[in-house]
Structure 1
Amino acid sequence: MKNFFKFTNGAPLFPTNTTKKTHLLMVLSIIAFCLATAAAQGSKFFYCSHYTKLLVLACVFCGCIGVLVFFNATRRMDENHIVFLMILTGTFLRCGYVLLSGLYERQHDAGAFTGMGTDFVNPGHIGYIEYIYKFHRLPDLNPYQLFAYYHPPLHHILSYLWLQLNIWLGVTEELAFENLQILPLFYSCLCMVVTWKILKVLQIRGSGLYIGLGFVVFHPATIIMAGSVNNDMLTILFMCLIIYESLKWIRNKNLPGLIRLALYIGFGMVTKLNSAVLAIPLGTIFLMHFISVLRSGDRMAVLKWVRNYCIFAAVAAPIGLSWVARNLVRFGEKPGVPVPGETSPMYTAPYSLWSRLGIPALTDWNFPFPFHPVSAKACNNTWAIMFHTSLFAEEYPAGMPDILLVLCQVTFALAVVFGIAAAVLFVAVLLNKKTEREDRVFLLTGYAVTLVSFAAFVLIYPYTCSSDFRYVAICLIYMAIGIGLGNKHYFSQLMMHETNWLDRIRAAGMHIINGGIVTILVFVNLIYVFWGRW
């Protein structure tokens, strides 16, 4: 770690030489960017024309990229410098997106607010937050009677506190509600930092670290969710933290790590219940560890770990199940999701199981116009919808310029090919014996459970909106891990000259996957810059 923050000529770029302080600098920079974005939303900049804002932001972004390229070309950066500037650039992209997008643009189940001047109770996530803001309490009505109120309340409570702070600082009510986007922006930025830490725990360096991290930093899904007002982004952050803390615990099994895991799972569940899916791979690791303790024959160790796991349950269960218990006791309601009804054009139940969850037909992909049409009649295949919404959310644009449409077609086709390749790579590297056994079990089980629970969700709630990529956005982290480990295990210049033909094929394959991922990220960000829909 020596000289970690120095130029090759000895001149320091940053004032420290530790990864821990790099992490602190990243978080402080993210906080500063988010607060600056909140301030900019109330400035004249927010009210200038779209293209003026875009020009200013593009110039700043190009400056960030220029600094990164310059220092890299002059060999004046090490790994931490590159990671710091990548995350800073990703933070800027997210801040720019929030400034270019209003409160009601590209939202999911947002609802509306009418302000303190009325006693209206409004639906949606914004209405949920407004209810707490108006009445200073959780909704005392049956949460299934008003849309989005069935969600656990942690995100909405935090949003209320942020809203109240804005009001206390003299911000107008309208701008305070506009600033609800700042918290998801903050969560999205923190996800980049946690992804970096996950890759570091797995000892991924060099091109594997940069491309794996870049996949999360520049993927449009987390950028778009940075401007959301619902609980998706906070849920993904908690799931990232669960993965990170689990990988740490595998390496250093102790009680403090268990307690942190219990808190992340508990608070994840009171943000959104589906974060509990990661309890399954974690439970598998706990079981493997406890069996090894039993086999050791050490009675004191057995008692110690029985106690530790009881403490874990005593912390996680009351927090995580508190919302479920409240609704059962007060309203007799079990966990679930209100549905639009069978007359909705999104209703997919009449279609066969293969049509919905099987291999998509060529018509499902709709390569000539690769956007989600919403209607089940047009497309009801879960995997095709997942790919459509991963790149372009639920946009269905009209009048798109021909050049931009061609770029969308090419990017989507590449995304399908390399998305499948990345999934295969993820499984391959985890089956590789170079990957630690507990890591293999935890990550493979987590990925499988995420996809199976997604498929089950689509069947239980048979609507095209249930197939939106946001429900499995945590898979971006798994793919980043796969890319990182693939580069670690298979890719090096030496392997390209190996006499073993299998090693040469693997190295060449990683070259192609790396190039494909970078191309997709460049193309999709160019599409969003020139789309003009903000």
Structure 2
Amino acid sequence: MNNPTHISEKKSSGSNPAVSGIFGIFAAHPYLSAFLICIICTTPFCASSSNITSAFFIIMYLFFCVSTGLVVPRICKKHKLKDPLPVILTFVASAIGAPFFLYFRNRENKLMFIFVYGCIMLTAYYFAFYTKKLSHRFNTLLIMGMSFMVKLCYVLGTSISERQHDVGYFSPSKEAAPGHLGYISYLCYNHHLYDGDYREVFQYCHPPLHHGLCAVWTWFLNRILGVDIENAIESAQVLPLFYSMTIIITAYKIFRHFQLKGRALYIPMIITAFHPCFTYLAALMNNDALSWALAMGAVLCTLRWYKAPSTANIIKIALCLGLGMMTKLSAALTAFPIAFVFIIVFFRSLKTSWKKIIGQFAAFMAVCFPLGMWFPLRGLIRWGIPLTYVQKLPEMDQSIKGITFFERITDFSLKQVENVYENWLWRDESGVPQGFNETNPLIAILKNSIFGEFINGNNFPDMAYMDKICKVFFWVAASIAAAAFVLMIVYLFRKCAADIVQKSFLVFFHIVLMINLYTLSKNYPMVCSMNFRYLMPTVITGALFLGFGVSKLETSKKAPAKALKVLLYSAVTVFSALSTFVYMVVVSVEE
């Protein structure tokens, strides 16, 4: 997809041909580049830290030496240091690094070492090849690279059975095992969809795109490359890792679509790239990651179609939306704000090119409808399953049916935030209920947007200080979310880089997701129905409006604006640092 906002940037590439070439590849094929990087960084040890051997540290050290040979002379050249000093410094840097690799190769905390190693490599290349003409690309790539290291280490330290949603188990046979892993194993061994009423098997009600891709990946590694089945399915985590990075890349493209630059670009990029929801999403084996990746692709393509209403652009929307629905039917929620843009453009074209727009709508439906609806229509025709069927959950301790929905959404008692982790009713060894269930959807999503359902004080044994750090993290994140929400309301009515239709489209999208979550919470009164995984794109819409606010702050010379800038930049810095620290501690403790 060509983006006219980048044309001038490509023409003004830095003077170094190698740097220009690398950036040219990333700019032309960002998603393919991200996929290759994910494969290179995970498949050698099947996306599991338990498979990281001493030999891998030797490879890391060799890459470190090669990088030293590239980076040190480049930095010396920038500072006009003459031979033989660059050669001496290269050998000194390589020699200094050797003891660290020898020390950590047999240690348990390998993930922390890999994270530090990756960050050092990224920073070294950044300072060695940085050019002002490509400053925003260098800065955003550094942000994405650092956030990728967090996600990579989290994936390596999280198995397909840890901190997952409804995964069940991967069956080593053709039987229909329950859960998302069971769905994947059924497709992997049987090579066809479950040929029965899928209401009978837990999670088989979902369209099969994600599960099919995981099944193909697992089958290829197991049958073609000879990887044992346990490692093959574990390695499938490379796919959600890639989908999570895809969302970050798409967010960047949306921010650049509105020509955000400088801090107005970096602030929303840091919030999005380091937001914990996209970290734990990278390891989830359910269909959320691919669904949201495609939904955000549809949002980006809609913005581009609105600017240039062509058949090619509307087909891209149809593909993203249709494939998103073929992953998870709830991706259809994106259709409502997209339809809003379609209607606006149609009425604007009534005096000029309305026939052309009608033709584009026909092309959209011809692509999107079959892709998105074949699976639910199959269930309706063969077994009478309603198109909007949602699998029912059994009665569990997490049920909150005893409290009315109005009481839940209006209860903001401080008791709920004494614990910044999500509250769940649990039973002691005698079976006596302890604690209480989360009831307010707003408070629940603020909590599990940061820690998910599965991270709490139990993840930090003998680390009492972590509870205090997590409290600071929660309140900083909640403050940034509140600021983003306020700015969304403000800039819906004030002038900014987006016109009224684009702003309304993004706010409509945000509201539709919120309404859906509250509807789920009302109709299915369980703690699990109040989960931020149903709202993840709202991080990007909120961050975008925060970027609009930063644009205004950057041009203001008033004292209150300067104070707000310092406060906001400090909060975002603390947010990204604590997000990295907390999730690295989670996987390091469990290693």
Find 1:84's aligned residue among 127, 130, 141.
141
How far apart, in 1, do the equivalents of 2:219 and 2:39 lie? Answer: 17
Deviations 1:151-191 (A, max 9, x none): 11111111111111112111111111111211111111111
Give the distance between the partners of 1:475 and 1:65, measured in 2 at CA: 29
Contact 1:220 1:524 in 2 (8 A): yes
The Cα of 1:241 is off from its aligned counterpart by 0.3
Task: Tell me the CA shift for residue 451 of structure 1.
Answer: 0.7
Aligned to 1:496: 557
Could you say which residue in structure 1 is the equivalent of 2:437?
378
Correspondence for 1:391 among 450, 464, 483: 450
Which is greater in Rg? 2
Gaps of 5+ in 2: 1-8, 54-105, 426-434
Partners of 1:114 and 1:363 lie apart in 2 by 43
Cα distance in 2 for partners of 1:214, 1:449 equals 25
- Aligned match of 1:339: 392
Percent of residue pairs identical = 25
How far apart, in 2, do the equivalents of 1:103 and 1:425 lie?
38
User: 1:22·1:84 contact (CA, 8 Å) conserved in 2?
Assistant: no
Deviations 1:425-483 (A, max 9, x none): 22222322233122112111111111111111111221110111111111111122122
Cα deviation for residue 212 of structure 1 reads 0.9
After TM superposition, list the pairs within 5 Å mapping 1:312-351 onto structure 2.
312-334=364-386, 335-341=388-394, 343-351=395-403
In 1, Cα distance between equivalents of 2:134 and 2:462 = 40
What's the offset of the Cα at 1:74? 9.0
CA contact (8 A) 1:185 1:227 kept: yes
| Distance of aligned partners of 1:13 and 1:373 in 2 relative to their CA distance in 1, 3 Å threshold | farther
Query: Quick one: which amino acid aligns to residue 485 of structure 1?
Result: F
**In structure 1, C-alpha distance between the alignment counterparts of 2:358 and 2:280, rounded to whole Å:** 43
Give the C-alpha shift of residue 316 in structure 1: 1.3
Tell me which residue corresponds to 1:36: 41
Letter paired with 2:500 = R
Pair 1:204 & 2:256 matched: no
C-alpha displacement of 1:486: 1.7
CA contact (8 A) 1:29 1:88 kept: no
CA–CA distance in 2 between the matches of 1:390 and 1:474? 11
Moved more, 318-327 or 13-22: 13-22
Shift of 1:340: 2.4
**1:476 and 2:539 correspond:** yes
Equivalent-residue separation in structure 2 for 1:176 and 1:355 (angstroms): 47
Preserved contact between residue 23 and residue 193 of structure 1 (Cα < 8 Å) = no
What aligned pairs does 1:436-475 form with structure 2 within 5 A after superposition? 436-475=499-538
How many matched pairs?
Answer: 514
2:181 alignment partner AA: I
Tell me the equivalent position of 2:113: 56
Label 1:27 to 1:288 Cα distance change in 2 as closer, same or farther (>3 A). same
Q: Deviations over 1:462-521 (max 9, x none)?
A: 111011111111111112212222222x121x4124xxxxxx545543442332122112
Residue 15 of structure 1: SS of its match in structure 2?
helix
- Call closer, same or farther: CA 1:454–1:286 in 2, change over 3 Å: same
Match in the other structure for 2:322 = 266
User: How far did 1:3 drift?
Assistant: 6.7
| Residue 427 (1) aligns with residue 489 (2) | yes
1:20 Cα deviation from its structure 2 partner:
7.0
Separation in structure 2 between the aligned mates of residue 380 and residue 533 of structure 1, nearest angstrom? 30
Distance 2:360 2:481 in 1: 40
Which position in structure 1 is the counterpart of 2:310?
254
Q: CA–CA distance in 1 between the matches of 2:487 and 2:564?
A: 10
Provide the rounded CA distance (Å) in 1 between the counterparts of 2:363 and 2:115. 50
2:165 corresponds in structure 1 to 108
Counterpart for residue 214 of structure 1: 270
Give, in whole Å, the separation in 1 of the partners of 2:561 and 2:503.
Answer: 20
- Superposed CA offset, 1:300-330 (max 9, x none): x222222221221222112111111011011
Mind listing any 5+ residue stretches in structure 1 that lack a counterpart? 498-503
**TM-superposed deviation, 1:145:** 1.0
* Distance change (3 Å), C-alpha of 1:437 and 1:43: closer
Q: Which residue is equivalent to 1:241?
A: 297
* Displacement after TM superposition at 1:53 (Å): 1.6
Residue 191 of structure 1 corresponds to 247
Aligned-partner Cα distance in 2 for 1:104–1:42: 13
In structure 2, how many angstroms separate the alpha carbons of the residues matched to 1:449 and 1:509? 30
Distance apart, 1:2 and its partner CA:
6.0
Which residue identity does 2:124 align to in structure 1?
Answer: V
> Residues 166 and 377 from structure 1, CA distance in 2 versus in 1: closer, same or farther, beyond 3 angstroms?
same
Match of 1:411 in 2: 473
